[in-house]
Amino acid sequence: EASITYPTRFPLSAIPEVDSVVVSVNGLRIDEGWALEAPATVVFDAAPAASAAIRVSYVVDASTPGLGG
């Protein structure tokens, strides 16, 4: 019997200011069950459902090279 493994790691497109990261699953903010792995990956303790809408909002770290910081 085949099993399906859903992802737990979601790379961000830029390096965030750590304190600005907000994670929502299906429109609900979640404050536990995930961590920010340096420099820019959200890692869930358990994989969200395949149909889950995951949104990560953050302020881009101004010291990121190429952003004039």
10-residue mean pLDDT profile of the chain (69 residues): values are: 86 95 97 96 96 96 67
* Assessment of whether the complete model's pTM goes beyond 0.75: yes
Q: Are 10 and 42 in contact (CB under 8 A)?
A: yes
Backbone angles phi, psi at 22, to 5 degrees: -125, 125
Question: What pLDDT shows up at residue 11?
Answer: 96
Question: What pLDDT shows up at residue 65?
Answer: 67
Question: What pLDDT shows up at residue 5?
Answer: 84
C-alpha triplet 56, 13, 28: angle, nearest 5°:
5
